[in-house]
Chain A
């Protein structure tokens, strides 16, 4: 492999790359700290040597890194000790993401990640390029304006043929739709996500261990002073509980409110920061989203690469007729964090707008005409027994361990019955044109929309209890389903009906031929 010349389209990363990577020099300091055990002289030498080595490494790797876009692929040459040449065919690229942290935003540079289907991690990372260069890369690699003419569909194993069936947009037709989400809407998104409960737990634990919230000072206003322990809200409360029931209940209530409000606040803040200035653009059949305050993310993908769409409606959102929308593009491997494995199409939208948004991804889907079919009625029995089991075990345990009054907990069977019925109402499946829709979930309802041609495999699974009731869960597998748990599935179909549905879908999948 000869060193490429700058002339034939080979490009370097942004000149600021070494500077931004100089954070790695901190390793030298760490080494110095370790060496400081032995003496001052050794420390100086170690820090000097390590700094020199890391600086040289960063510089050389910057100098060695070249990339180039050809008609059909992205070629990257890099490596300090081991030289590597990586070729990513353009037809395999699922998305190109640009992500800029705070510093990178200041210098107007960004990290470009190129994702292909399959593979554990990101296929290629360009760290860092100027923002303009990033936008150009994305336009050239996923933009349809430059898409190569439909080639003969290759079929080597493990390969993912491109979908040349999308019409090429005329330049004037570009940017046909723009959706924007305001900070107020984002605050609502944070307030209605089911995260607050989790955050309350986190804050409570954090405060118990590190005492970073003024809880004890606030509690001091409500609890009798003799039970207060400085800096320990929980301990004070425990002390009070043994002496003064009324004060304890007041304190508990106050503490609950403090943590509730704080957890909610953090959830709102997190949502606003993460999705700040959320914008969805559509250029023909290419979709682009950009969002984030400190870390700015810009993602682009082709509509034809969307494997399935997920509508999330936690209970608070359902009450307010709101929802959020995510799409699975199969570009993200299991090596990525859970919330990075799907693209957010909108962090919050009104239920009435759903149809509009879904049209940007699935133009043929008529969301408003979807007729949901319920799961099998026996599902209610299973959903109730599942809850009843927990209630009965808990009340028996309580009765045995404390007093027979523990059996009073059995009254919880009544709300459990209502919950089971409510849960059942949120299970469902539907067909609409060439799409399958499935939904589940009581506290957080998830609706998946899967185009039949994206189905890879179908599974009908039965737990022993489902088997006794003649029920089964239909799992619909597409590429890139991050976790079995949140993959499209329809719970508690009648076994015969489920098998029929599976057969019918398989026949339709076969009808779509060898597309992906």
Chain B
């Protein structure tokens, strides 16, 4: 089975770090507000916020690597397979005859890295049933076209 484009880990790491910033700020703020009335003294002000920041940064740097290692996808003649999850594993199978439409989309960060996400929709309720997040832009376009071709078959039938 195919792996994602390795550059996706860069996108994931940066996203994680961007998220870590406001999260740390909020924790720090709460810590400050709670400390004042309760009078809890940890070793120094901002210890909790510091630990949270350390955890978030570590997590954002390490987790994408693991996530990448367990991500696999494959498009076969009649089905799309997606396998993922570090702790909670899942393996999804979408029969190609059930695909309603396929999107590619990219965030500014992904565009900068030359990546695209491929999103597959079926008539199941939860909107997108499957997303392949890090594909080289060309690959994603090519796949989208290929997956859409089956829909055309239906038109001619």
Query: Contacts of A146 on B, CB cut-off 8 Å?
Result: none
- Is B123's CB under 8 angstroms from A118's CB? yes
- Is B154's CB under 8 angstroms from A514's CB? yes
- Is A157's CB under 8 angstroms from B123's CB? no
Interface 0/1 of A310-354, CB less than 8 Å to B: 000000000000000000001000100000000000000000000
**Complex-state Cα separation, A514 to B98, whole angstroms:** 7
- Is A479's CB under 8 angstroms from B88's CB? no
Per DSSP, are chain B's interface residues mostly helix, strand or loop, or mixed? mixed
Q: Closest approach, in angstroms, between the C-beta of A263 and any C-beta of chain B?
A: 33
Query: Contacts of A160 on B, CB cut-off 8 Å?
Result: 123
Sorting the interface of chain B by its residue count into under 10, 10 to 19, 20 to 34 or 35 or more gives: 20 to 34
- Is A457's CB under 8 angstroms from B89's CB? no
- Is A479's CB under 8 angstroms from B95's CB? no
272-316 of chain A: CB within 8 A of chain B: none
- Is A153's CB under 8 angstroms from B130's CB? no
- Is A461's CB under 8 angstroms from B151's CB? no
Interface 0/1 of B110-129, CB less than 8 Å to A: 00000000000111111001
- Is B93's CB under 8 angstroms from A512's CB? no
* CB of A459 closer than 8 Å to a CB of B: yes
Q: Return the chain B residue nearest A341 by Cβ.
A: B125
- Is B93's CB under 8 angstroms from A459's CB? yes
* CB of A507 closer than 8 Å to a CB of B: yes
- Is A509's CB under 8 angstroms from B98's CB? yes
Binds B, one of A191-199, A220-228, A416-424, A462-470: A462-470
**Complex-state Cα separation, A516 to B65, whole angstroms:** 39
69-106 of chain B: CB within 8 A of chain A: 78-79, 85, 87-98, 100-101
Give the residue of A158, A458, A467, A516 whose beta carbon is less than 8 angstroms from that of B89. Answer: A467
* CB of A499 closer than 8 Å to a CB of B: yes
Query: Contacts of A467 on B, CB cut-off 8 Å?
Result: 89
453-503 of chain A: CB within 8 A of chain B: 455-464, 467, 472, 477-482, 484, 499, 502-503
- Is A506's CB under 8 angstroms from B95's CB? yes
* CB of A149 closer than 8 Å to a CB of B: no
Give the residue of B88, B92, B93 whose beta carbon is less than 8 angstroms from that of A462. Answer: B88
**Complex-state Cα separation, A117 to B123, whole angstroms:** 8
Q: Closest approach, in angstroms, between the C-beta of A459 and any C-beta of chain B?
A: 5
Query: Contacts of B90 on A, CB cut-off 8 Å?
Result: 459-462
- Is B88's CB under 8 angstroms from A463's CB? yes
- Is A460's CB under 8 angstroms from B129's CB? no
**Complex-state Cα separation, A480 to B124, whole angstroms:** 6
- Is A158's CB under 8 angstroms from B88's CB? no
- Is B88's CB under 8 angstroms from A456's CB? no
- Is A502's CB under 8 angstroms from B93's CB? yes
**Complex-state Cα separation, A514 to B157, whole angstroms:** 10
Give the residue of B85, B101, B130, B155 whose beta carbon is less than 8 angstroms from that of A457. Answer: B130
* CB of A510 closer than 8 Å to a CB of B: yes
Q: Return the chain B residue nearest A459 by Cβ.
A: B92
- Is B125's CB under 8 angstroms from A481's CB? yes
Query: Residue among B98, B123, B125, B126 with the most chain A CB within 10 A?
Result: B125
**Complex-state Cα separation, A506 to B126, whole angstroms:** 20
Query: Contacts of A184 on B, CB cut-off 8 Å?
Result: none
* CB of A7 closer than 8 Å to a CB of B: no
**Complex-state Cα separation, A512 to B97, whole angstroms:** 9
32-87 of chain B: CB within 8 A of chain A: 78-79, 85, 87
Interface 0/1 of A148-179, CB less than 8 Å to B: 00000101011110000000000000000000
Query: Contacts of B129 on A, CB cut-off 8 Å?
Result: 456-457, 477
Query: Contacts of A463 on B, CB cut-off 8 Å?
Result: 88
Q: Return the chain A residue nearest B92 by Cβ.
A: A459
- Is B100's CB under 8 angstroms from A157's CB? yes
**Complex-state Cα separation, A477 to B99, whole angstroms:** 13
223-245 of chain A: CB within 8 A of chain B: none
- Is B122's CB under 8 angstroms from A510's CB? no
Give the residue of B78, B100, B126, B130 whose beta carbon is less than 8 angstroms from that of A158. Answer: B100
- Is A334's CB under 8 angstroms from B154's CB? no
**Complex-state Cα separation, A345 to B35, whole angstroms:** 58
Q: Closest approach, in angstroms, between the C-beta of A487 and any C-beta of chain B?
A: 9
**16 more A-B contacts (CB under 8 A) besides A158-B121, A455-B95, A514-B157?**
A155-B151, A157-B100, A157-B101, A456-B124, A457-B130, A459-B91, A460-B93, A461-B91, A462-B88, A462-B90, A472-B89, A479-B123, A506-B79, A506-B95, A509-B98, A510-B78
Please name 24 pairs of A and B residues whose Cβ atoms are closer than 8 Å in the assembled complex, sorted by A.
A153-B154, A155-B151, A159-B100, A160-B123, A334-B125, A455-B98, A456-B129, A457-B92, A457-B94, A457-B98, A457-B122, A457-B130, A458-B94, A462-B85, A462-B88, A481-B124, A499-B91, A506-B95, A509-B95, A509-B97, A510-B96, A512-B97, A513-B97, A516-B123
